[in-house]
Chains A and B, each alone.
Chain A
């Protein structure tokens, strides 16, 4: 799949933002007043900024409101509803915490739950697609949710918990890569089923046009295996390894905390780039671009 910067930025930032909202909702840390204002500004900046970034890849952003209509079948529509619901409920919680110095526990927990479900609905947009076997697995929601919660814990300053959750998210990340690598061949879709021209060997002889097209640009991104391996190591190191190291450093203060956040963000973006760049859409088979 084409690793579109707008989608990478959207899923990375909004995942982090909603992850932070989960922790603010359940009162970890239990902040009020000015401190709460800073926390909520960061959380809303990430979540809303991410949502705005996602509209950049639309052909007609001015019609974006129509995306609220098909929640019965479409995960994208559900994501729209859930994200707005989460942001509104948490806004009430934030207002009470910042301006009234009071913690509305029930509202907070509801907002936290809605934030979690929002991240889940985002992950299901990818996990539902049978056409991309690497995404079409139960570990995809687990991967995106574990990353969001771990990043949220990191931003919320939950040192020990963040270290634990980051380790867990790293394990899920590795498992997602492992399962993903064999997903296309396990899916049973190959050039033979795509064309119905088996048994025997089928080979793509000539593509429909001499030039490229929307399908090739959008769905047939080929990332070199050697680069992918290096990038995976970079993602693991910066996204999970270094942040855990910084957090566990005795007497870790704000400087190391900030370093952990920056490192995590860098690793997160690399991981998300790979999430798209490595995903093989089955339409590539028709162009002889997939070796299943």
Chain B
């Protein structure tokens, strides 16, 4: 049913560290791999080797350039997938009940055999977390690898979402964000984890850890700058003569501090 549960026993979700993510897209690939080979309709590609390739992805990595009010500019890699919102607008708009939020762990799922492919849930999601599969005509979204995390056939260390398991930088963390003592909750607490688009009122479960402020190294450059000035002021030879001769031409002398003339 598309009525949201008032509370969920657990709030399983991801914590994504924007300070650590290196933008390698390994999570994108492992997600596509696992979710193509396992639960539900495969994530299809169209014209994969042609001029205009497109495809379904449940996880995509953007890159942003930020210039803080004080401090140097930074490049931030930004993985984005379903945030498994507590107040998920994608679930309540579904006319068929295909979309639902599980009361036991808060995972938002699509029952593909009930999905009519109207696309309204994707319209209702502010994050672009849902994509209609062009081959199957049903809505695809992150399942938090529900077929891994409870899967007794997998070794225990593999019972976490594929994106988390594969991340070489350790930028992705999985756990119960409803439990204040869990490792992920502690991490959110310590690093000031944040919600995306809080004003949309979706109450996302997934949290993002902001990039740590970078040291401003401009001052260090300044302290070394005097050492970079020419050591010998009384130069000799052909180039010295040429330099002085050019300085005497109309247009003024070159400034050795600024370089060029």
Give A contacts to B, CB under 8 Å.
Answer: 1, 57-61, 63-64, 66-70, 72-77, 80, 125, 128-132, 187-189, 191, 193-197, 199-209, 211-215, 218-219, 281-283, 286-287
Contact with A along B199-212 (1 / 0, CB 8 A): 11100000010110
What A residues does B155 contact at CB under 8 A? none
Give the nearest-CB partner of A283 in chain B: B128
Given that A73-B2, A282-B126, A283-B127 are contacting pairs, would A207 and B62 also be in contact in the complex, using a CB cutoff of 8 Å? yes
What A residues does B25 contact at CB under 8 A? 208
> B131 touching A57 by the CB < 8 A rule?
no
Dominant secondary structure at the B interface = loop
> B114 touching A131 by the CB < 8 A rule?
no
A173 nearest CB across to chain B (Å):
23
What B residues does A128 contact at CB under 8 A? 93, 124
> B137 touching A67 by the CB < 8 A rule?
no
Size range of the chain B interface in the assembly: 35 or more
What A residues does B75 contact at CB under 8 A? 205
Checking B3, B65, B137, B194 against A60 with a beta-carbon cut-off of 8 angstroms, the contacting residue is B137
What A residues does B123 contact at CB under 8 A? 1, 129, 131-132, 218-219, 281
Checking B57, B94, B114 against A213 with a beta-carbon cut-off of 8 angstroms, the contacting residue is B57
> A70 touching B1 by the CB < 8 A rule?
yes
> B95 touching A193 by the CB < 8 A rule?
no
Given that A57-B119, A132-B123 are contacting pairs, would A72 and B132 also be in contact in the complex, using a CB cutoff of 8 Å? no
> B138 touching A60 by the CB < 8 A rule?
yes
Report how many A-B pairs have Cβ atoms within 8 Å.
Answer: 192
Given that A74-B93, A283-B127 are contacting pairs, would A59 and B116 also be in contact in the complex, using a CB cutoff of 8 Å? yes
> B126 touching A205 by the CB < 8 A rule?
no
> B64 touching A193 by the CB < 8 A rule?
no
In the complex, A60 Cα to B119 Cα: how many Å?
Answer: 11
What B residues does A63 contact at CB under 8 A? 96, 114-116
B134 interfacial contact with A, CB 8 Å: yes
Q: Given contacts A196-B208, A200-B69, A283-B128, could you give 18 more A-B pairs where the C-beta distance is less than 8 Å?
A: A57-B119, A70-B2, A74-B95, A76-B93, A76-B95, A77-B95, A129-B124, A200-B67, A203-B64, A205-B75, A206-B62, A207-B62, A212-B54, A213-B55, A214-B56, A218-B119, A281-B123, A282-B126
Minimum-distance CB pairs A-B, first 7: A59-B117, A59-B137, A208-B60, A283-B128, A66-B96, A67-B95, A76-B95
In the complex, A57 Cα to B122 Cα: how many Å?
Answer: 14
In the complex, A286 Cα to B81 Cα: how many Å?
Answer: 12
> A195 touching B128 by the CB < 8 A rule?
no
What A residues does B122 contact at CB under 8 A? 214-215, 218-219
B226 interfacial contact with A, CB 8 Å: no
A-B contact pairs, 30 of them (CB 8 A): A60-B138, A66-B97, A66-B98, A67-B96, A67-B118, A70-B1, A70-B95, A72-B1, A74-B2, A76-B118, A77-B95, A80-B95, A193-B196, A194-B197, A195-B76, A197-B64, A197-B66, A197-B210, A200-B68, A201-B67, A202-B64, A204-B63, A204-B64, A208-B28, A215-B122, A218-B132, A219-B123, A282-B200, A283-B125, A283-B127
Interface centre among A74, A75, A125, A287 (most CB of B within 10 A): A74
What A residues does B166 contact at CB under 8 A? none
B198 interfacial contact with A, CB 8 Å: yes
Contact with A along B68-89 (1 / 0, CB 8 A): 1100000110101000000001
Given that A130-B126, A208-B62 are contacting pairs, would A70 and B138 also be in contact in the complex, using a CB cutoff of 8 Å? no
> A60 touching B115 by the CB < 8 A rule?
yes
B127 nearest CB across to chain A (Å):
7
B120 interfacial contact with A, CB 8 Å: yes
